[in-house]
């Protein structure tokens, strides 16, 4: 595993300026920015397959958009419990006047209920942060929407590669944190650092798959990735 490479590989591509400029601009446009998600998935797949130059061109925009849309829908399905908890907490809060009541005026059971739902939401949010990268990886490699919900494969993949997987997720968070300060890619502007961070995350997850400790994820093109 070459973790440092994930942070620098973008600049090894001769056309990296053009590719990052396009990605950064598209990322600012609502709906259209779904193509950026699909592009990141293609990068993940390229790295997992050992492509020498993982950054693809932007000529396959339609496929990127569809893959980005489907992966977003898959993530939303995973997030249904979180959405349900948030809606239920909002309803309880509105009905009981929890938000507007003076401190100490709300019954203890109601306060306990609201806090419990907040804790459950936080825990499930952490769970999603751990599980979704594996789901994205399976979808990126297979191109099959159902891969998002093959729970056994998703959890087995995490368990079999736990050390590298956790490191990759943490480093992806670090990249997003750094990008938030706009301290990199200064030559083309702060608004493009977020796209760079996304590409870092794709490379990290692709490396985890490439050096995985379990059988390949089947793809639509071949029976296995080698």
SS3 content of the chain, % helix, strand, coil (to 5): 70, 0, 30
The answer to whether 217 touches 142, Cβ cutoff 8 Å, is yes
Q: What is the pLDDT of residue 89?
A: 77
Tokens 């070459």: give the residue: 2
- Rounded Cα distance, 189 and 35, in Å: 21
Intervals of the chain under pLDDT 50: 101, 103, 185, 187-188, 221-226
The answer to whether 206 touches 44, Cβ cutoff 8 Å, is yes
Q: What is the pLDDT of residue 186?
A: 53
Q: What is the pLDDT of residue 92?
A: 73
Q: What is the pLDDT of residue 182?
A: 56
Domain boundaries, the chain: 3-210
pLDDT digits (tens, 9 = 90+) for 56-71: 999 999 999 999 999 9
């Amino acid at each position: 595993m070459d973790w440092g490479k994930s942070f620098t590989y973008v600049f090894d591509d001769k056309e990296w300026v053009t590719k990052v400029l396009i990605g950064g601009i598209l990322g600012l446009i609502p709906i259209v920015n779904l193509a950026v998600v699909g592009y990141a998935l293609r990068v993940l797949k390229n790295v997992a397959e050992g492509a020498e130059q993982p950054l693809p061109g932007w000529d396959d925009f339609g496929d990127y958009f569809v893959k980005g849309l489907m992966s977003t829908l898959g993530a939303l399905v995973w997030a249904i419990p979180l959405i349900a908890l948030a809606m239920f907490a909002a309803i309880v809060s509105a009905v009981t006047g929890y938000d507007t009541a003076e401190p100490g005026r709300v019954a203890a059971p109601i306060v306990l209920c609201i806090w419990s739902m907040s804790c459950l939401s936080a825990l499930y949010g952490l769970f999603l942060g751990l599980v979704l990268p594996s789901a994205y990886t399976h979808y990126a490699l297979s191109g099959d929407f159902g891969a998002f919900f093959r729970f056994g494969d998703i959890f087995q993949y995490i368990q079999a590669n736990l050390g590298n997987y956790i490191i990759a997720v943490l480093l992806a968070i670090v990249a997003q944190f750094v990008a938030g300060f706009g301290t990199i890619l200064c030559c083309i502007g702060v608004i493009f650092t977020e796209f760079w961070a996304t590409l870092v995350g794709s490379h990290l997850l692709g490396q985890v798959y490439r050096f995985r400790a379990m059988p390949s994820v089947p793809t639509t093109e071949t029976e296995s990735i080698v």
